[in-house]
């Protein structure tokens, strides 16, 4: 049976996971010193992570 509450929590968990992956990927690529600062990936990851964290509860 369709339950919007479960769907919202599932989406929030995905946002947390993918936000964390974007954030960590941006940090790793920046630290790798390939000549670029991946601030867009870092910022996007932070926003997505906190959006998911806020929507989880």
Buried b (16+ CB within 10 A) or exposed e, 6-19: eeeeeebeebbeeb
Position 27 in a domain: yes
pLDDT in tens, 8-28: 899 999 999 999 999 999 999
pTM: predicted TM-score of the whole model, two decimal places: 0.84
| Domain count of the fold of the chain | 1
Query: Which residue, 39, 6, 41, 4, is CA-closest to 49?
Result: 41
State the residue range of the domain holding 28: 19-56
Position 1 in a domain: no
Position 13 in a domain: no
Position 12 in a domain: no
Whole-number pLDDT of residue 56:
87
pLDDT in tens, 26-41: 999 999 988 788 999 9
């Amino acid at each position: 049976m369709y339950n919007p509450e479960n769907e919202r929590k599932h989406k929030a968990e995905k946002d947390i996971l993918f936000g964390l992956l974007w954030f960590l990927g941006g940090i790793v690529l920046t630290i790798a010193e390939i000549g670029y600062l991946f601030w867009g990936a870092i910022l996007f990851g932070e926003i997505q992570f906190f959006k998911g964290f806020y929507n989880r509860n």
